[in-house]
Amino acid sequence: MDYEKLGLKVGLEVHQELATKHKMFCACPPELFRDDPEYTFIRRLRPSQSELGEVDPAALFEFMRGRTMIYEANRATSCLVEMDEEPPGELNPEALDTCLTLALMTGSQPVDEVHVMRKIVVDGSNTTGFQRTCITSLGGSVEVGGKTYRLQHIGLEEDAARKIADEGEVSRYRIDRLGIPLMEVATAPDIHSPTEAEEVALAIGWIMRATGRVRRGLGTIRQDVNISIVGGALTEIKGVQELNLVSKVVEYEVQRQVKLIELVSELKRRGVRESDLEEAFIDVSDLFSDTQSRIIKGALRRGGRVLAVRLPGFAGVIGAELYPNRRLGTEMADCARYGGGVRGLFHTDELPAHDISEGEVRALKENVGASDQDAVVIVADDAQKSRRALEAVIERAAEALKGVPAETRSANPDGTTYFTRPRPGAARMYPETDVVSVVITQERLRRLEASLPEMPEARLERFKADYGLNEKLARQAIDSDYVRLFEEMVRADEADPTLLAVTLTETLKSLERDGVQTANLGDDSIRGVFRLIRAGNTAKESIPPLLIWLSSHPGGTADDALQELGLAMLSKEELGMLVEAKVSENREMVERMGVKALGPLMGMIMAEVRGRVRAEDVQALLREALASRARG
């Protein structure tokens, strides 16, 4: 696509959890628990009017869904502050220092005084019905590929509760994550292509990690992407967790908006008007009394009804593909789920299908008076839910006549997105009266400026120059959770830089993919393994099995692992005897292949004693033995 011609504008909001000693407004540690909860409590949240008597549309939308929230907690990771039973404490100074450090690194201007605000959120992710947030600096920029991208602000906010499950009209959350400090960097809409969006997100993430004060792991960094094109609308896509998905999300959203704009022209050509869309819902349950559709049969068996609505002129439009695996009908289904709490819907652009017969479709169209140009949507569920769902469908159809609705969407793991709620309005924010404002003094800024971390690009060049790493390995080392350990060990001459970098990045990632609990490996365990290699007590091939053993024996040492696994180095005499034995055992192959037998013999020996010998020693002895045979 020609993104310049389309007028693509992208802005990013990068959110990163901070590795502070405690949460944002209490003394609880910023940790998650995996066991069963110690206690639960129930809430239903509702929006309130602003000082001007306005109600935020996104908050009202969530409230109208009528959901109940069950919160799970334990005493080690949450307290009365997270339960909203106790006022918040003072703003975490460590978290604020991290935001100010990032501001100084990016040229963002710290504010004179930090004021905490309340941002209305009634989807259940905050027990209070709002999120506490504050601006810590304004402006700034990042350089990517020789181009400057402006920052709008750097902020600090509390992370939300973790959603565990949706159970009908009940949502279940854990409040261990609630209140963990979350640093936010918002860019100006200076990004004009999917690739740029991903590169800028990566650069911001690198600078955040360079502070040395961020949490790592899945879910600790999330990107919200704001996207618009000429003739479209500003769409906010929340919760992009993988950086390599950012470009795909932008690409798909542009495709979606372009197609929606095209559908407006098609509907106008057909003469469809908004006044043609009527909330005339017809009960067609009797038409499906003998249906083979399990979904419809199940709904009727539970006492539900099948309601239908005619969409004049929408035949073929509902089934139009917006981008891979997403259609206008998919968007209507999203709205029906969120508006009515139903599981989904059927429409005539996809029928007959889903065990709904051609005869049932024909009878359906006749019953509602649909022509060949019309589409029909049906929902099978509780009658009230079905009605609310079809109301949402009518509303989405009306928006299709106008173009692209301004809305908030969430990202799927494949880069596609789904409707979440309308865009929030200005009535969403108001002052937090329970937290004292913080004056940012010049002394504080001078203290932070005196110990600013190295910028990522400068660090990359230093790693390549000082440690002899290639660019790929240097980037991996810098991006690793073990970058501090890497530098400490190399400076102390405890390990070869390249071998250590490979181990701390590629080897550990490979083990983690195989199910090894690498999180159990402390610095002492890794140091111990390399001490054995440095002393010549084992070979570098022993690294993976030693680390695997140590990960499952947290109290064990590298020496314990060496003894338990039998990976101590063979003596020179033992290795020499083994080489001679292998050459003798394979005399026929040696006579036939000569020096070319080196490869097969190496494989045999290394398979038998890998980790107990150095490959170069085996190779040298084999060359000598084969040369001797050739001379003899």
Percentage of the chain modeled with pLDDT above 70: 95
Indicate if 493 and 599 belong to the same structural domain.
Answer: no
Q: Please indicate, yes or no, whether residues 94 and 60 belong to a single structural domain of this protein.
A: yes
Among all chains, which residue has been given the structure tokens 């003998």?
Answer: 290
State residue 245's pLDDT score. 93
Do 584 and 559 sit in the same domain of this protein? no
* Domain boundaries, position 303: 268-422
pLDDT > 60? residue 441: yes
Predicted pLDDT at 63: 58
Query: What band does 56 get if pLDDT is binned at 50, 70 and 90?
Result: low
Residue at 428 is within a domain: no
pTM, full prediction: 0.82
Same domain, yes or no: 273 and 153: no
Q: Specify if 243 maps to a domain.
A: no
250 part of a folded domain = no
Which 3 state secondary structure label does DSSP give 290?
Answer: coil
Nearest in space to 254 (alpha carbons), one of 204, 197, 203, 202: 197
Q: What is the pLDDT of residue 156?
A: 98
Residue-level pLDDT at 105: 97
Q: Are residues 219 and 324 in the same domain?
A: no
Residue 206 lies in a domain: yes
Alpha-carbon gap, residue 183 to 16, rounded angstroms: 5
Percent of the chain with pLDDT over 90: 74
Residues 535 and 604 in one domain: no
Clarify whether residues 216 and 329 are in a common domain. Answer: no
Per-residue pLDDT at 243: 84
446 belongs to a structural domain: no
Within this chain, do residues 8 and 154 fall inside the same structural domain, yes or no? yes
Contact 252, 417 (CB under 8 A): yes
Measured distance CA(430)–CA(494) in Å, rounded = 55
Res 220 pLDDT > 80: yes
Domain end among 402, 422, 442: 422
Domain boundary among 508, 541, 565: 565
* Residues 345 and 291 placed together within one structural domain of the fold: yes
Condensed to tens digits (0 to 9), the pLDDT of residues 597-624 reads 888 888 888 887 777 777 888 888 888 8
Give the whole-angstrom CA distance, residue 21 versus residue 158. 14
Same domain, yes or no, for 509 and 617? no
pLDDT of residue 391: 96
How far is residue 250's CA from residue 521's CA, in Å, rounded to a whole number? Answer: 38
* DSSP codes of every residue in 469-530: --HHHHHHHHTSTTHHHHHHHHHTT-S-HHHHHHIIIIIHHHHHHTT--GGG--HHHHHHHH
CB 555 within 8 A of CB 520: no
The pLDDT of residue 556 is above 80: yes
Residue 387 lies in a domain: yes
- The whole-number pLDDT of residue 524 equals 94
Mark whether 112 and 70 lie in a shared domain.
yes
Give the mean pLDDT of 585-602: 85
DSSP secondary structure letters along 269-283 = HTT--GGG-----EE
CATH of the domain at 377: 3.30.1360.30
Q: Is 4 exposed, middle or buried (0-12, 13-18, 19+ CB in 10 A)?
A: exposed
pLDDT bucket at 566, cuts 50 / 70 / 90: confident
* Predicted pLDDT of residue 526: 96
Query: Average pLDDT, stretch 554-571?
Result: 87
Evaluate whether residue 445 is within a structural domain.
Answer: no
Strands (E), 403-478: 407-411, 417-422, 429-431, 438-439
For range 504-508, the mean pLDDT: 95
pLDDT at residue 579, as a whole number: 82
Is 80 exceeded by the pLDDT of residue 392? yes
The verdict on residue 254 lying in a domain is no
Q: Answer with the one of 565, 589, 615 that is the final residue of a domain.
A: 565
Note the pLDDT of residue 66.
62
Contact in structure between 31 and 244 (CB atoms under 8 Å): no
Helices 383-402 and 246-269, packing angle to 10 deg: 80
pLDDT tens digits, 85-142? 999 999 999 999 999 999 999 999 999 999 999 998 877 899 998 999 999 999 999 9
Triad 145, 150, 151: Cα angle to 5°: 120
pLDDT in tens, 288-299: 999 999 999 999
Could you report the per-residue pLDDT of 450-463, keeping only the tens digit for each? 999 999 999 999 99
Backbone angles phi, psi at 239, to 5 degrees: 75, 35
For 392-418, letters b (16+ CB in 10 Å) and e give: bbbbbbebbbebbbebbbbbbeebbbb
Q: Do both 221 and 155 map to the same domain?
A: yes
Residue 362 neighbours by CB distance under 10 Å = 12
C-alpha distances (whole Å) from 188 to each of 9, 139, 221, 226, 253 are 9, 9, 19, 10, 19
Domain count for the chain: 4
pLDDT digits (tens, 9 = 90+) for 139-166: 999 999 999 999 999 999 999 999 999 8
pLDDT of residue 42: 93
